[in-house]
Chains A and B, each alone.
Chain A
Amino acid sequence: MHHANFWQYARSALAQWKWQVFAAQQPPPPDVWLHAFRTTDLIALTSFSDFPDSTYSIRDRIIGIAMIALGPRQAGDPPDDQWHTLRQIVQHDVPRLEPAHWLEVVIAWGCGWQRTPAPHRTAWDGAWEYAVLALYDMVAGSVRATIKQILRVLSHKFHDHPLRPLLHTPAHSTNLTHLLHLGAATDLTPAAGELTLYAAEITMELLPRLVPPHAAPPDRYDPHQLAHWQPAHRSLRVFLAEAVRGSASRELKTNAFRQGLLYPLLQQDFGIRVDTAEFKLCHSEACNGPLIAASVASGSPLKLSAVSTGLYEGARCPVCQTPADPARTYHIARRNWLLVPYDYGGMYELQARWHCPHCGTLFSISASYRQEENHLRQIEQQLHQLREPAVRATILHQLAAHYQQPPDHTALSKYLRHQQRVASTRLQHLKEAVYCPLCQHRTPAQRPTHVWVLRSAPPLEGIDRTHDEYDYGTDSSDRDRGPDGDD
């Protein structure tokens, strides 16, 4: 079947559309018209040329115009096999009248989806430059949306005044405050440098893997690869949002966010992490006093789902202003909490806690235990060092300078092992003498639990958040999913 006339119609439609939209800017820069093309009314676009109505459907016309717009510029008409394959895919997977999704199929196809692009950048069987750039634009929109979601959750949890990160930021700063600044500044278009890098990195991850010559293809399954997109199940926008942050929801789903491609980049550069944090349940009668009392009496740990008020971090209940009391306030671990460690400018630090198996509360580890544990670590470190010949020689040399009859290596090792046994025994005794401050039950020996704890900080003006505002949790439902905007 000869389609030469059809491609002329498609080219004519695209040219006339450009002329009408960018009359004052001819020829329009590719980036400008490409962005407009993705968001234009594609059905109206088909009317810019006199397609023979009886031969080509609206879907065929839109696919054809999209191929001309996104494909290589100097490679002639699209080959018949690609044209037929794309039509079949769209007809089968997106049968409804959804021009935007038809365009997404063409974008993905141009990036190498459902085919193996040849290494020629100017041919139809290679990867199409404009298709990759269109994919990048979609990824960048999702990255920006994710950063804004993170901002909404994290913006007040920093060393300084919460608004400071959004103000006076050095132009070349590469710290977290700079990132937040960029995310908050919605008037920055199209994107600022760092976000551009993240979007570019993720775009590269999505494209088909490059396999070096004579090398086996990677066997690692990556669900975020563009190759795994199924247009019949979800739109490309939703697929990309899930690739970026694990979920297409408009609210950040932290557990899903950890599975996204953006998370490891932000964790590496800015320390952002999703982990278990410690929360307090207010013990006052007006808040959770009865709940805590029932839990202590019955020996059944409290669940977060049973708590409706008085859940907080910090020193004081935001509802009734009752200060936290280590002997009465219930401490509970909350998983999948988005946080920034203190070392990275955030307000969280990792602390060890005991867990009461009776009432379920977390409570602090005593100073004597920590001291003994540090002592044991030092001994183990010395024993480890003693196994290194160079370090061993230095230690023995130092001992020889201080003692008339310095110990040899065997004696020193024996001595340290003895010390290790003594410290371990002492630590075990301390573990067995731990009592829960709430229910007074003795807890069996256990390994400490590590949770992230919000450091005490001066009260922040205008910030008085209750647990309701933190409710961005880990629900798996994505019913409220929606595509990310481009800006």
Chain B
Amino acid sequence: MIEAVNHLLRGVVWHIPTRAYLQHAHVRVLCITAATSDADTFDVALTIRGPLPSADPAAQLAIALYRVGDQQMHVHYGRLNQRGQLLFRQVQAGAYQPVCTPSLNTEAWIWTPPPSGPQPLSLHAALIPTPTMHPRPIARGAETDQHWTCAYQNATATLTATLHTQPTGHLLLDLEAPDPAWDGSLIGFVWSTHDPATGQSVAQLLFAPLRWSAAFHACTAHLHLAGPQPAFALSLPTHPWPLVSITPDLAPILRQSVTQSATAHTRRAWQALAQSADELPAELRPLILAALQP
């Protein structure tokens, strides 16, 4: 399906707000634009029909719109809903190149600056017009050319994740659960990166121990995440990861997670977990403590 759509879109440039219809072999793409209250921008509705039934994996496809011929790089990105539709909001007029990519099977997308150059960047996540979308962005901080923050919640609104860009170019992830019951629990989440240029996607399971913080009045954990990435996604759990299901084959992931701890608070949480959690396999405890060593 992706190949068929990209074959159809190859070399295509859409001049928003001009509408377009493409058909080739067994795929159709209808691009409709609609004026918004802002005179300079348009809503862009994409509808894609392919050979697969709509319940199958049109929903797993994602579409990115790259603005062409502009020194400011504008990227609009979103995932198709189950009808094979996507609505980009507030798109500026101009020429855009559409690209179809596989979805990372995650629920939300945001874009990070490209690795080269300090060019001003415009980031737009397209909201899928369906009632539920988790984790959902709950706040968007002040954005500058170099720095932005974005907060997400999990489906039950019990866990909040805030992403910050760091001066080093890396990302800092703050996990926060206001419920004291999460104290001492282990959070497993999926961090996915995607490079539209190569089409390669990498999804990585990571762990973070939550520990009560009097300063934040919540259970928190802080991690470094590799960056910058062309695109990334975050999938948050609704419940802590059961410690009894941590098996020795997760050792590499645990080691990686420990080394990505960003604060002493989080390292202490790992230490406490390794020393007091009886459910953890005995062979994993020294591994965690060793990974904590500088």
- Point out residues on A near B: beta carbons under 8 Å: 29-31, 117, 119-121, 126-127, 129, 132-133, 136, 171-172, 174-175, 188-194, 196-197, 199-201, 203-204, 207, 210-213, 215, 269
Contact = CB atoms under 8 A, between A and B. Distances in A.
A175 B45 CA distance: 18
Given A117-B23, A127-B23, A210 B129 contact: no
Contact of A197 (B18, B35, B37, B87): B87
Contacts of A132: 21, 30
B19 A210 contact: no
A190 B34 contact: yes
Contacts of A213: 26, 51
Contacts of B87: 193-194, 196-197
A212 B51 contact: yes
A204 B34 contact: no
A200 B32 CA distance: 8
A199 B32 contact: yes
B32 A269 contact: no
Given A172-B127, A189-B35, 15 more contacts: A29-B17, A119-B24, A121-B22, A121-B23, A133-B19, A171-B37, A190-B34, A192-B34, A196-B34, A196-B87, A197-B47, A197-B87, A200-B32, A201-B47, A210-B28
Contact of A196 (B21, B24, B32, B49): B32
Contacts of A211: 26
A196 B85 CA distance: 11
Interface of B: 17-28, 30, 32-37, 43, 45, 47, 49-51, 83, 85, 87, 89, 127, 129-131
Residue from A30, A189, A197, A207 with most neighbouring chain B CB atoms (10 Å): A197
Contacts of B32: 136, 196, 199-200
20 contacts: A31-B33, A120-B24, A121-B22, A126-B23, A129-B20, A172-B89, A174-B129, A189-B35, A191-B34, A192-B43, A193-B45, A194-B87, A196-B45, A199-B32, A200-B47, A201-B47, A203-B30, A204-B28, A210-B28, A210-B49
Nearest to A126: B23
A204 B19 contact: no
A29 B24 CA distance: 24
Given A190-B34, A212-B51, A197 B21 contact: no
A203 B47 CA distance: 10
B136 to A, nearest CB: 11
B34 A210 contact: no
A117 B25 CA distance: 10
A427 B257 CA distance: 59
A200 B45 CA distance: 8
B24 A121 contact: yes
A119 B34 contact: no
Contacts of A191: 34
B26 A210 contact: yes
Contacts of B83: 197, 201
A132 B85 CA distance: 17
Nearest to A135: B21
Contacts of B47: 197, 200-201, 203-204
B43 A193 contact: yes
B128 to A, nearest CB: 9
